[in-house]
Structure 1
Amino acid sequence: MSSVRSVAALEAGAFAGQHHVVVAFCADWCGTCRDFRPVLERLSAAHEQLGFLWVDIEDDAAVAGDIEVESFPSLLILREGRPVYFGTSLPLEEVVDRLIRSALSSPVPLSPAPEEVWSFGALLVDPAPTTGAV
């Protein structure tokens, strides 16, 4: 059974080689974001071939980097590390499910994404090597 992973999974390279990843940029103080988490958990269970990542823009600020989240929750859908959707989404399971399916099957991105989002997608599928003793 798949689940929504936290940013700690990034250090282990959990998304390396993952073809499709859905990222939720949220904040703990946001009630709509808290409602969004169980929706993503159910979608994760229904779409085991997809990776799901939860990024708290305050607690995980180092990972979120310069990505500007204007409304919460914001959803990023990546195909082969490339953004095909970046925008706000309400916690409506059927709507989010259709959005994911549409974004991943569309021959072109459903929405433009800023450079910071492109960099984030590349990080997920091709993480930088960790430093440490060899």
Structure 2
Amino acid sequence: MAIERAVPEALTASAPLLVVCLCAEWCGVCRDYRHSFEQVKLAIAADHPQAQFVWLDVEDAADLLHPLDDVDDFPTLLIAVGGEARFFGPLTPQPQTLERLVRSLVDNASARALADPALHAALARLRGVL
């Protein structure tokens, strides 16, 4: 399974911030976006050293993502804050967009968790193997 962690420590349920980029190896936009994802990881780590960034190939991790495994738009991001999924969807592939989104979700204590049970199940499975 092609799960690559941008932060080496093991993921735990108490991780304050998890950013998962769902991409595909065959996707040229994804390959180009990988550098931007790494840039944002470094920028966020300056303020949130426990933040974990994971690059996940949707084809290699389909069993973990099911029924969310039919991701059609790349890159698609899953962002969890304090164990709750706060964002799941495609994002334009600019590093500034991702950084603004991540910071807004972390800084907004009143941001609601997403209510999709399938998303919560996929997040739990991801946390179990990362």
TM-score range, shorter chain: 0.7 to 0.9
Q: Secondary structure at the match of 1:47?
A: helix
Tell whether 2:26 aligns with 1:29. Answer: yes
Asked whether the equivalents of residues 4 and 56 of structure 2 are also in contact (C-alpha less than 8 Å), the reply is: no
Identity %: 31
Larger Rg: 1
Q: Structure 1 pair 20/124, CA: closer, same or farther in 2 (3 Å)?
A: farther
Asked whether the equivalents of residues 64 and 126 of structure 2 are also in contact (C-alpha less than 8 Å), the reply is: no
Output the aligned Cα RMSD.
Answer: 2.4
Deviation, 1:113, is 5.5
**Equivalent of 2:121 in 113, 116, 119:** 119
TM-score computed with the length of structure 1 as normaliser? 0.75
Cα distance in 2, alignment partners of residues 116 and 36 from structure 1:
26
- Give the aligned length: 119
Stretches (4+) displaced over 4 A: none
Letter of the structure 2 residue corresponding to residue 15 of structure 1: L
Cα distance in 2, alignment partners of residues 116 and 88 from structure 1:
17
After TM superposition, list the pairs within 5 Å mapping 1:48-67 onto structure 2: 48=45, 49=49, 50-67=51-68
Which deviations, in whole Å up to 9, do the C-alpha atoms of 1:42-72 show, x marking residues without a partner?
1112222210011111122222222142311
Deviation, 1:124, is 4.5
Gaps of 5+ in 2: none
Deviation, 1:13, is 7.8
Gaps of 5+ in 1: 1-5, 129-134
**Equivalent of 1:75 in 77, 92, 97:** 77
